[in-house]
Structure 1
Amino acid sequence: FTLSWVSFLCMDMICKRFGPKASVKVSILALALNLAVSGLFWLVSLAPGMWGAYYDTGSLEVNAALNATIGGSWYVVLGSSLAMLCSSFVNSHINQFIGHLTDNGSFATFALRSYVSTGIGQFVDNLVFAVVVSHTFFGWSWVQVLTCSITGALAELLCEIALSPVGFRVASGWEREGVGEKYVQAHAADLEARM
């Protein structure tokens, strides 16, 4: 909940300038990096020896808990990876759909497409994670799964709302400065060829 909204704001900015395909590609790259870091942490947790906290407490349980925390839990990594993959696709495509209907380059249309796509995307993100991890492994009821998904989506949307003016300025700056112009033109030509 603390950082998830940042990735959604980034997707909205990328989507505004480069389209949904680019946004999903960046999300997949970020997911691959996240999985690589998780794998590295897991390897660190296998290293022999004791953590500093073991020497403070003399407890093997503390050392084992730290190894489990650093190494992560496979089902949490799986759940969060699947949730991010699904939600990035949903967020980016809803954002682009609304943008095709309304975008006139103003903050109001950026906000509309970002807030709607983020609200729905965050709900999907939280729902997939809650079903895969919380319901399956921790026995959450469906009421808990849905309540957490809705509450989390609203909280994360409020965070994005607070910083979306910054995201709009950055995305508008990319347009003014012609950042990625070759990609944008190639993407537009590709879309025209399909129609």
Structure 2
Amino acid sequence: MYNFLWGVLFVLTNFAFFLICYRMFGKYGLYAWIGVMTVIANIQVLKTIDMFGIVMTLGNTANVTLFLTTDLLNERYGPKEARRAIWFGFFTLIMTTVIMQMALAFTPQATDFAQPSLETIFGFLPRIAIASLSAYLISQFLDVHLFSKVRAKFPNTGQLWIRSNVSTGISQFVDSLVFCTIAFAFSELYPWDIWIQILITTYLIKLVLSVVSTPVLYAARSFKVRDEVQ
């Protein structure tokens, strides 16, 4: 029960920061969010938790906000800006991976205490990064494509929830399948039964969070942000 209650607060905090970031910094804040949360999602996913007897990884909330961001960019600024943000997130993750691998290669000083912890987190990052980059590019570009296709059939302002949930629901499944397969399916970290649990719970949690985030998307769309003020 603790993990569930703390998880609710955790999700609300993420959504609140997302809204604040967009409100204060506009489109540039969305780009910054993409960059930061792409890295955070790949760090958090290394931690598994138990909720109601089900094994799941963290990082799902961060991942959902990435789709939330590209949907908002697509809605307000068009698919070109959404695709540009995706490439920005792609670059951010590659940059982080390369720089941290180089940082780990330094010989630590005798009294250094950070190296083992950094190796635990970032030593595993290349495999996670490959899984994430593959899942990220495939699912995000799919999301932008589907969002535009659904918008052609449901263009009304009040139908944003249809555009967002249909495109994200399909894209999130692809994201979970690609990521979990590359990151965990053929590793020694988890047996197959745990891998299947992680895959199913990861998708279901993302799907639920995506639906829950719909009011957040509507709220963000209603903002008059600084970069739109003439």
Cα-to-partner distance string for 1:16-46 (whole Å, 9 max, x where unaligned):
1233332122111111012112222222212
CA distance in 2, matches of 1:116, 1:91: 9
Q: Secondary structure at the match of 2:213?
A: helix
CA distance in 1, matches of 2:100, 2:229: 34
Q: 1:34 aligned to 86, 93, 115, which one?
A: 93
Name the residue aligned to 2:127.
75
Q: Which has the higher helix share?
A: 1
Aligned residues of 2:108 and 2:115 also touching (Cα < 8 A): no
Are 2:136 and 1:84 aligned? yes
CA distance in 2, matches of 1:97, 1:51: 58
For 1:34, give the aligned amino acid: L
Are 2:177 and 1:127 aligned? yes
For 1:163, give the aligned amino acid: S
Are 2:169 and 1:110 aligned? no
CA distance in 1, matches of 2:173, 2:110: 38
Q: 1:44 aligned to 103, 123, 130, which one?
A: 103
Distance 1:22 1:51, change over 3 A: farther
TM-score (normalizing by structure 1) = 0.73
Count of residue pairs the alignment pairs up? 170
Name the residue aligned to 2:203.
153
1:140 CA displacement: 5.7
1:102 CA displacement: 0.8
1:115 CA displacement: 1.1
Name the residue aligned to 2:14.
none
1:160 CA displacement: 2.7
CA distance in 2, matches of 1:129, 1:170: 28
Q: Secondary structure at the match of 1:137?
A: coil
TM-score (normalizing by structure 2) = 0.63
CA distance in 1, matches of 2:110, 2:214: 41
* Matched-pair identity in %: 22
RMSD: 3.0
Are 2:53 and 1:3 aligned? no
5+ residue gaps, structure 1: 55-61, 182-195
Distance 1:19 1:148, change over 3 A: farther
Aligned residues of 2:131 and 2:182 also touching (Cα < 8 A): yes
Structure ID, larger Rg: 1
Distance 1:86 1:140, change over 3 A: farther
CA distance in 2, matches of 1:101, 1:52: 63
5+ residue gaps, structure 2: 1-59
1:172 CA displacement: 3.9
Runs of 4 or more, structure 1, over 6 Å off, are: none
